[in-house]
Amino acid sequence: MTSSRRDFAGRRPGPKAPAPGRRPSIGGGNPLFWLLALIGTGLPGQLAFAHERWILTPEQIQDWSARQPPELWVSATPLNVTLITAFAIFTLGWIRLGFTGARELFPDLQARLGAFGHIVAPILRFCLAWVLMSSAFGLEPRHGVERLASPTLFAPDLELATVAPGVLWLRWFEFLLGIGFLFGAYVRLCAVGLLLLALIGTLLFQASIYSYAGALVGVAIYLLCQGPGSYFLPLPTHPRLQTMQAELARVPRQRAQAIMRVLTGINIFYLAVAFKVMQPNLAIAILTIHDIRLLGMAPETATLLMTLVEFTSGILIIAGILLRPLSLFFLGAFLMFAALLPESWMAHALFYGVMLSFLFNGAGHFAMPEAKDKTANIVIVGGTVAAIHAAMKIERLIGQYSNIRLTLIHDQPNVLFYPLLPEVIGGTMQPGNAVNPIRRVLPQTRVILGEVAEVDSQVRQVRVNLPGDRTIEVPYDELVLALFLVPNLNRYPGLMAHASPINSVGDALHIRKQIMDRVEQAELEADAATRERLLSFAVIGSGQRACATAEEICTMLETARVSYPVLRDQGWRVYLFEDTQTAFSDFEAGIRERRDRELAKAGVILGRERQVAAVTPDSVVFTDGSRQPVGFVVNSCFMLPRAVIDDQTVNWPPETEADLRLRGWPHIWATTALPPAVANGQPRRYLTTADWMDLGKAAGQNAWAASQDFETRPFHYRKRWILPFSMGRRSLCQVVGWVVGGLPAWFLARISNLATMPGLERNLRILIDWTLDVPFRADIAVLAPDATSRLQRLHLEAGDEVIRQGEAGDTAYIIQSGRVEVLKNGRKVGELGGGEFFGEIALVSDTKRTATVRCLTACELTVLGRDDFQALSVGSSALARAIKQQIEERTGRRKARG
């Protein structure tokens, strides 16, 4: 490198005029670039001699400034159009991400980072101290200038000697400010001095200081408001300054952070425009002269990429969108260039401090908005995809500051994505990835775990049964019912007792365990007939979940075949017995033949010609009297749910208005809409997960609009160009009227389902599972624990209450030993002893507990659930007759004991 020459005043000579016939590179003759130059600086003539002076010599700057700008800057090419379009799409996606999934991405980590906000001020102080003191002594390297030879102002390219020898005293002002910031002495006063120094620098260096002014002023304002933070030297303060100091201390940290963030974003945006867009040749010169190859790209391409990165980042920082990951990116970029270029690691110390403030404080906000919407309670019932998207839609509509209280009632703390359940059986999906915590997806929503017993529209209350026999009333102004199919346990005799439903992750794990247990038993079974029965499995039901379950069982057994000799030698059978009374949609009817072929290829045996009549412990019984021995049965029969509103049972799907308002109840909304085809008796519509998502969004938006007296919107089903029918690797997909199978259908079905799954973190985990499923075999490990007995024992001591009058009840009790007393309205009405039972009235009449039962002695009790008790009391056995007789006696004599 050549050394720069100085005149008698110590100033470097300015760049020579371009040679005749050659145009300067600024703007490249494009009016857009000149407009940006006027907006960015107003002094385009000075740009060629600023900011790069500690990396390039004046001769190099003069030479490269006189060259023609590269083609990427003066005309449209496939490369620059592609890069600009990609960055535009990325920016829009980043903005969308900031308002959707990323709010729950690594929430624990974000909370922990936010807890370190108090150390931002000391970090900024240290960074400022280094910048000021290193500049005062000229510590940063510059071409043609030895270290410690010439002081600068803030940055290596702002040499005080190039302005006038009479301003060298500013170095000592810088040094004193640096000492004050380093030790935390009178930090607010030092911040005022920094603002003054920035003003002096602007008068001296004019446009050259703009490269640093935004960040400098932002940091000064932050420290002026927040003071030294922690780790400072306490010094006495004059009484006249204490009042002003107290006023500044009242400025919220997040407001000071927002001011610094906006000024820093403007600073970075200016750097992109002034020193990349307007002077691309100088950036290219740096990469060329220092032989820096970024991912093997040409200097012109790398410069364009850097320009787009700075330009986009400046906009995102100003907007304050996802600053924590953005700050990590910038920290890495600054450190990388410090390693590649002839500059020290602390050359960008000021920006290090600002980026760390983004990491700990986030974006901040200038003012706390006041909620201006109407006060309302919106309640959503259900944990389905429709319910979650209804709540997510309302959260986006009301924002962070609102008078609306949003409540979601569900019996589980997680939202379950039903299309993924069969994959849990097959081992291609980790159990935890099929669910997502509701509270993480909906941070502004109050979640109540319980079951809705009844809706009272007169007083607008929802009665909710909570665990532990408790009941609460939840008020509402607008109610959204987002119910879904429930298992039909009584479709066939024996189905509840001898088949396992598939309606939860626990069900899927239980099914998986039972199937692998049968395989283990078959390994040691000597009898061929018993072995064949153990390796025969049946799925009863219709629709996508039944087909996918049968296919996944086949996949799991095929995966386990290499590990179990009995599967290799004996083989297995998986039967699918469809419910002939279930109506098919037009789409399902159209793909039925191809679906059957795909199931047959997977190894599923279709039993359409045989209608199920009953299920026994070891066989499926058909209407013609024949039997199919099986080792295990999966119940995939479902029925529509019911809701009790004003003591009326509303069957599903109910009749709704065009805006999804429940007909007859103006403040109740339902995530269902019967299309005209159903009303006319035509095949029902095939609803995809995207349809359920749209129903939830529409119901949520209309419920919110009604709460604010806004106009509601009618709901219309969208035309779906892609209709997936998920069956694992045997999936089918209708794309614009064409039905495809194989790998394309498998991919499209998964992506279309994943697009509706709420929660970015869960989506990433699912993608990892699916990716690992391609090169590796499905898992055959069994994670489900052994189920405990349904009949539970309870031990209580004298004085303990078993049930309390007025509570909701779903259990009955048999006294094994001990005695209890029965109290009604505080008065004793009787005693019970061993062999007697109580608590049955609440189960048979669906009423609240009518008495309190308290132990007189130590008691051993057997607990019966609702289903268990009903199973014992049904029929004509002696036990059933005795139970019925005692119930009649107790209700007839008005001596109900529970």
List pLDDT tens digits, range 620-654: 888 888 889 999 999 988 887 888 888 888 877 78
Query: What pLDDT is stored for residue 875 in this prediction?
Result: 55
pLDDT 10s digits, 502-538: 888 888 888 888 999 999 999 988 888 999 999 999 9
pLDDT 10s digits, 380-400: 998 888 999 999 889 888 877
pTM, to two decimals: 0.61
Between 841 and 886, where is the model more confident?
841
Average pLDDT of the residues of the chain: 80
Mean pLDDT of 488-513: 85
Query: What pLDDT is stored for residue 261 in this prediction?
Result: 93
From residue 628, give the alpha-carbon distance in Å to each of 500, 750, 787, 819. Answer: 17, 34, 26, 49
Does residue 409 have a pLDDT over 50? yes
CB–CB of 758/764 below 8 Å? no
CA distance linking residue 711 with residue 764, whole number of Å: 38
CA distance linking residue 380 with residue 108, whole number of Å: 27
Give the type of residue at 203: L
Between 356 and 800, where is the model more confident?
356
Query: What pLDDT is stored for residue 550 in this prediction?
Result: 92
Query: What pLDDT is stored for residue 639 in this prediction?
Result: 82
Between 165 and 314, where is the model more confident?
314
Query: What pLDDT is stored for residue 777 in this prediction?
Result: 52
Does residue 36 have a pLDDT over 50? no
Give the type of residue at 641: P
Query: What pLDDT is stored for residue 399 in this prediction?
Result: 75
Q: What is the DSSP string of 202-218?
A: HHHHGGGGHHHHHHHHH
178-181 contacts: CB < 8 A, separation 24 or more? 178/128, 178/129, 178/130, 178/131, 178/132, 178/133, 178/136, 179/129, 179/133, 181/125, 181/126, 181/128, 181/129, 181/132, 181/223
SS3 28: helix
pLDDT 10s digits, 111-142: 677 778 888 999 999 999 999 999 998 888 77
Does residue 39 have a pLDDT over 60? no
Mean pLDDT of 809-835: 87
pLDDT 10s digits, 728-782: 888 888 888 788 888 888 888 878 777 777 766 666 777 776 666 665 555 555 5
Does residue 189 have a pLDDT over 60? yes
Residue 221 — very low, low, confident or very high, per pLDDT cuts 50/70/90? Answer: very high
CA distance linking residue 186 with residue 815, whole number of Å: 77
pLDDT 10s digits, 650-690: 877 788 888 899 888 889 999 876 544 444 445 567 888 88
Mean pLDDT of 189-205: 92
Query: What pLDDT is stored for residue 22 in this prediction?
Result: 36
Does residue 150 have a pLDDT over 60? yes
Query: What pLDDT is stored for residue 288 in this prediction?
Result: 86
Does residue 159 have a pLDDT over 70? yes
Query: What pLDDT is stored for residue 789 in this prediction?
Result: 40
CA distance linking residue 276 with residue 283, whole number of Å: 7
Query: What pLDDT is stored for residue 421 in this prediction?
Result: 83
Between 794 and 739, where is the model more confident?
739
Does residue 784 have a pLDDT over 90? no
Does residue 894 have a pLDDT over 50? no
Does residue 203 have a pLDDT over 80? yes
Residue 9 — very low, low, confident or very high, per pLDDT cuts 50/70/90? Answer: very low
Q: At what angle do helices 187-205 and 210-226 cross, to 10 degrees?
A: 160
SS3 808: strand
Query: What pLDDT is stored for residue 230 in this prediction?
Result: 81
Query: What pLDDT is stored for residue 51 in this prediction?
Result: 58
446 forms bridges with which residues in the sheet?
407
486 forms bridges with which residues in the sheet?
639
Residue 3 — very low, low, confident or very high, per pLDDT cuts 50/70/90? Answer: very low
Query: What pLDDT is stored for residue 496 in this prediction?
Result: 81
Query: What pLDDT is stored for residue 859 in this prediction?
Result: 86
Mean pLDDT of 155-180: 87
Does residue 266 have a pLDDT over 90? yes
7-21, 309-323, 336-350, 799-813: least confidently modelled range: 7-21
- Indicate the DSSP class of residue 276: I
Does residue 17 have a pLDDT over 70? no
Does residue 407 have a pLDDT over 90? yes
Mean pLDDT of 408-432: 82
Question: Which two tokens mark 640?
Answer: 């529509």
How large a percentage of the chain has pLDDT more than 70?
Answer: 83
How large a percentage of the chain has pLDDT more than 90?
Answer: 20
Query: What pLDDT is stored for residue 33 in this prediction?
Result: 41
Query: What pLDDT is stored for residue 219 in this prediction?
Result: 94
From residue 77, give the alpha-carbon distance in Å to each of 81, 107, 288. Answer: 6, 42, 22
22-31, 157-166, 565-574: least confidently modelled range: 22-31
Which distant-in-sequence residues (6+ apart) come within 8 Å of 36 by Cβ? 273, 277, 278
Query: What pLDDT is stored for residue 873 in this prediction?
Result: 61
pLDDT 10s digits, 545-557: 899 999 999 988 9
